[in-house]
């Protein structure tokens, strides 16, 4: 039964920080604030949901107006940000990170499965 609690704790730890990971992967401009918000208020369900919504909503894509020298207005729409694709980020995990992700559960099974 203790192995269940260990795996459940590891799972909850990873689920707790999903908003911070999403903010970092999508290169959100306020990822540090989202991380702090997640640490201090993520333990409440409402705080975690708000952090996740904040992480998924990037900066607004509002048009910018410029007044030219001849008095005309120029409207510039910012380029759309590229959408999150998992394959772009899976290659950035170093070998030791992959080893830790795969090796930790296997090590715990070996350690407590005796």
Tell me the Ramachandran region of residue 105: left when phi exceeds 0, alpha when psi lies from -120 to 50, beta otherwise.
alpha
Is 58 contained in some domain?
yes
Q: What is the pLDDT of residues 31-85, one digit of tens each?
A: 889 999 999 988 888 988 888 888 888 765 666 778 888 888 888 776 655 555 5
Is 68 contained in some domain?
yes
Q: Is the Cα dihedral 17, 41, 8, 105 positive or negative?
A: positive
**pTM (global) more than 0.95:** no
Is 75 contained in some domain?
yes
Is 78 contained in some domain?
yes
Q: What is the pLDDT of residues 82-91, one digit of tens each?
A: 555 555 555 5
Is 67 contained in some domain?
yes
User: How many domains does one find in the chain?
Assistant: 1
Is 47 contained in some domain?
yes
């Amino acid at each position: 039964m203790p192995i269940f609690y260990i795996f459940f704790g590891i799972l909850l730890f990873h689920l707790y920080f999903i908003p911070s990971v999403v903010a970092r992967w999508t290169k959100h401009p306020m990822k540090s604030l989202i991380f702090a918000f997640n640490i201090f208020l993520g333990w409440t369900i409402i705080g975690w949901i708000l952090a996740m919504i904040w992480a998924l909503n990037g900066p607004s894509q509002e048009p910018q107006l410029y007044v030219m020298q001849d008095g005309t207005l120029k409207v510039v729409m910012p380029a759309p940000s590229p959408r999150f694709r998992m394959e772009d980020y899976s290659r950035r995990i170093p070998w030791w990170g992959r080893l830790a992700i795969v090796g930790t559960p296997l090590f715990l099974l070996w350690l407590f499965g005796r």
